[in-house]
């Protein structure tokens, strides 16, 4: 089956992309379809010219009709789409075909707030979104560098991870983290930013270190939600290194107990200790 008309439902399957394999991944073709108003997305190589019966001058004649095809069609339905195939779509189609991963991955990730980026249909790691953060599990015997795409109403940073903007409307960020073999991580937001910015977070002892790249807004407000715990009698302070200058600020908490650093220039290194 060959993609003949690309569709936004499958952004990674361009025109001319071949689905299945040469030995008949979609099983026997039980019947052909005449042309339809629905969007012909992909066609099998099987095709024939239909027939139409007309009566002319008292005689019945059989004339060539519209082409008939075995195809997969897509039609808009409500806020989504309906997909119909005139053959057994899953008869012998398996994940060993790259098109299988791209096809089903697009269906599953549509509308999802969290997904594994650039991953096959059966990924090597498991992820789960909770109201307090993101759980990442590596059940394999190899270390995994995991890249997540997360749609979120506010831009967050996570301890031990690097975050990057992906899109602004809707707001989506990339989260990159390394997970040891047969291990798991719970990514809890430790800071939020007023504007999308690439950032990495390290916690060393009682020190929280934020590495910020240049933001489009040049300056951002940083809110610190999680500060390293420990026995501490001195107030928390922030040191901001930017363009060869150093600013020392005392951390002030707002009415929700969140520490706020307004007007942080970027790029910058922010150290909380």
pLDDT of residue 84: 84
Torsion angle of C-alpha atoms 15, 20, 21, 27, degrees rounded to 10: -130
**Domain ranges, ordered by start, for the chain:** 2-110, 115-272
| Weakest-pLDDT range from 14-18, 202-206, 262-266 | 202-206
- C-alpha distances in Å from residue 15, one per residue of 8, 18, 43, 255: 12, 9, 11, 55
Confidence category of residue 69, pLDDT binned at 50, 70, 90? low
The predicted-structure confidence for 102-136, as pLDDT tens digits, reads as follows: 888 888 877 788 888 866 666 789 999 988 899 99
d(CA 117, CA 127): 12
d(CA 124, CA 112): 19
pLDDT of residue 144: 92
Q: How far apart are the first and last CA of the chain?
A: 60
The predicted-structure confidence for 238-272, as pLDDT tens digits, reads as follows: 899 998 999 998 887 777 878 889 999 999 999 98
CB distance 223 to 191 below 8 Å: yes
| Weakest-pLDDT range from 2-11, 105-114, 118-127, 177-186 | 118-127
Burial of 211 (0-12, 13-18, 19+ CB in 10 A): middle
pLDDT of residue 63: 64
d(CA 96, CA 98): 6
Tell me which of 145 and 26 has the higher pLDDT.
145
pLDDT of residue 267: 94
Confidence category of residue 24, pLDDT binned at 50, 70, 90? low
pLDDT of residue 79: 83
* Angle value at C-alpha 29, between 28 and 30, nearest 5 degrees: 105
d(CA 190, CA 175): 13
pLDDT of residue 66: 55
Overall average pLDDT of the 179-206 stretch: 91
Q: Using the 8-state DSSP alphabet, how is residue 182 labeled?
A: T
d(CA 99, CA 19): 5
Beta bridge partners of 67: 49
d(CA 260, CA 147): 28
DSSP string for residues in 236-269? PEEEEEETTEEEEEE-EE-TTS-EEEEEEESSEE
């Amino acid at each position: 089956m060959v993609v003949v008309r690309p569709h936004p439902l499958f952004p990674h399957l361009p025109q001319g992309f071949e689905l299945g394999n040469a030995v008949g991944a979609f099983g026997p073709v039980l019947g052909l379809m005449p042309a339809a108003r629905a969007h012909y997305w992909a066609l099998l190589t099987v095709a024939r010219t239909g027939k139409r019966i007309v009566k002319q001058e008292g005689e019945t004649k059989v004339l060539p009709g519209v082409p008939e095809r075995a195809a997969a069609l897509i039609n808009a339905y409500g806020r989504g789409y309906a997909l119909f195939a005139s053959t057994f779509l899953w008869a012998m189609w398996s994940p060993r075909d790259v098109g299988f991963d791209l096809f089903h991955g697009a269906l599953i990730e549509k509308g999802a707030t969290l997904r594994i980026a650039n991953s096959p249909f059966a990924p090597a790691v498991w992820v789960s979104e909770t109201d307090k953060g993101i759980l990442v599990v590596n059940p394999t015997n190899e270390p995994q560098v995991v890249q997540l795409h997360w749609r979120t109403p506010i831009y967050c940073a996570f301890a031990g991870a690097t975050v990057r903007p992906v899109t602004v409307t809707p707001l989506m960020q990339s989260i990159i983290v390394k997970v040891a073999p047969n291990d798991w991580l719970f990514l809890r937001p430790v800071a939020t930013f007023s504007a999308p910015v690439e950032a990495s977070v390290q916690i060393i002892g009682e020190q929280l270190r934020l590495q910020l790249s240049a933001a489009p807004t040049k300056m951002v407000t940083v809110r610190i939600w999680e500060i390293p715990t420990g026995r501490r009698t001195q107030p928390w302070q922030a040191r901001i290194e930017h363009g060869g200058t150093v600013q020392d600020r005392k951390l002030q908490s707002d009415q929700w107990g969140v520490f706020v650093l307004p007007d942080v220039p970027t790029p910058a290194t922010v150290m909380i200790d």
